Amino acid sequence: NNMGTVYETQGKIEEAIAAYQKAISIRPNYNLAHDNMGNALKKIGRTEEAIAAYQRAISINQDYPVSHFNIANAFKDVGKIEEAVAAYQKAISIKTDYAEAYNNMGNALKDIGRTEEAINAYKSVLSINPEHVVAKYMLSSLTGDTPETAPKEYVENLFDEFAKGFENTLLDKLEYKTPKLIAELLLDINHDRYIGSVLDLGCGTGLMGVEIKDHCSNLEGIDLSNEMLKKAREK
C-alpha cells in the first residue's frame, strides 16, 4: 500500500494500481488499499471503477470519513450530485469538523441551485477554518459581495478539476486556434529561425509549447494548476 502511494506521488499510476492490487490480494479487507485504489483510478479517468473501489472500502469500514469524501468527489465528477451531497453529509456526520467536505458539499449544492444550503455549507467551513480562502470567496460570490479577483487557491482548484476535459472543450468544441496563430506570427517575425528562450506563462496543458518547441533553444512553462502541468509534461 505504501509503495502504491509513492508510485502515485511520482505520477506512475499504473504501477500504483498494481501495488494496491497486490496489497488487496494479501489482505482483501484492507480498506485503505481499496480507498487508495479508488484515488488512483480516478486520476486516470476510470471514475466508475474508482466509485466501486470506494464502495468496497466503505463496506469494510463505514466509519472512515475519507472514503465517504472520496466517493462523493467521484459522484460529483460523473454528475451524480444528489449522491455526492449524501456522501459528503455522511463524511461530516463522522468527522464534524471536516472543512473540505463542507466546502465540496457547498460546491455541489451550488451546482444544483440549492443556494441557501450552499451558503450554510460555506459558513460551516469558515466556522472551522476562518482563513479558508476558497470558501470565503464562494460565500462572497453567493451573497453578492464578489471581490475583484479570485484567490489563487480557487483558480488552482478550478483548473485542476478542468484539466482532464480542457483540451476537448477548447480544441473540439470552441475550435481554439490561438497557440497556432501566435506560433505562426513569431516564426514569421523571426524568418523561421530559432526564437531563443521562451517563457510560457499560464501554459495550461502545453498547447503553445507543442507549436514552438522545435524552434526554441529553451522552453519553460509555468501554471497555477499542477494537473494542467502534468498534461503539459506528457507532451
Rounded to an integer, the average pLDDT of 130-134 is: 90
Least confident window among 114-123, 126-135, 154-163: 154-163
Q: Kindly report the CA angle at 86 between 80 and 87, in degrees rounded to 5?
A: 85
Q: What is the mean pLDDT of residues 37-63?
A: 96
- Give the model's confidence band at 192: pLDDT under 50 very low, under 70 low, under 90 confident, else very high: low
Per-residue confidence (pLDDT) for residue 81, from 0 to 100 = 95
pLDDT digits (tens, 9 = 90+) for 212-226: 888 889 999 999 888
3-state helix, strand, coil in the chain (%, to 5): 70, 5, 25
Range with the lowest mean pLDDT among 16-30, 80-94, 201-215?
Answer: 201-215
Stated as kind and residue range, the H or E segment containing 222 is strand 218-222
In the chain, DSSP finds a helix count (H) and a strand count (E) of 13, 2
User: What pLDDT does 234 receive?
Assistant: 84
| Chain position carrying cell 502541468 | 229
- Of 35, 32, 7, which Cα lies nearest the Cα of 19? 7
Instruction: Grade residue 172 by pLDDT with cuts at 50, 70 and 90.
Output: confident
Q: What average pLDDT does this structure show over 37-46?
A: 93
pLDDT value of position 208: 93
- Tell me the three state secondary structure of residue 167: helix
144: left (phi over 0), alpha (psi -120 to 50) or beta: left
User: What per-residue confidence (pLDDT) applies to 164?
Assistant: 73
**Mean pLDDT on 183-198:** 84
Q: Which of 200, 194, 205 is nearest to 220 (CA)?
A: 200
For residue 143, give Cα distances in angstroms to 47, 123, 136, 139: 33, 11, 11, 6
Question: b/e string for 147-163 if b means 16 or more Cβ within 10 A?
Answer: eeebeeebebbebbbeb
More confident residue, 157 or 204: 204
Whether residue 149 is predicted with pLDDT greater than 80 in this model: the reply is no
Q: How far apart are CA 119 and CA 107, in angstroms?
A: 10
CB 133 within 8 A of CB 153: yes
- Residue identified by cell 489563487 is 152
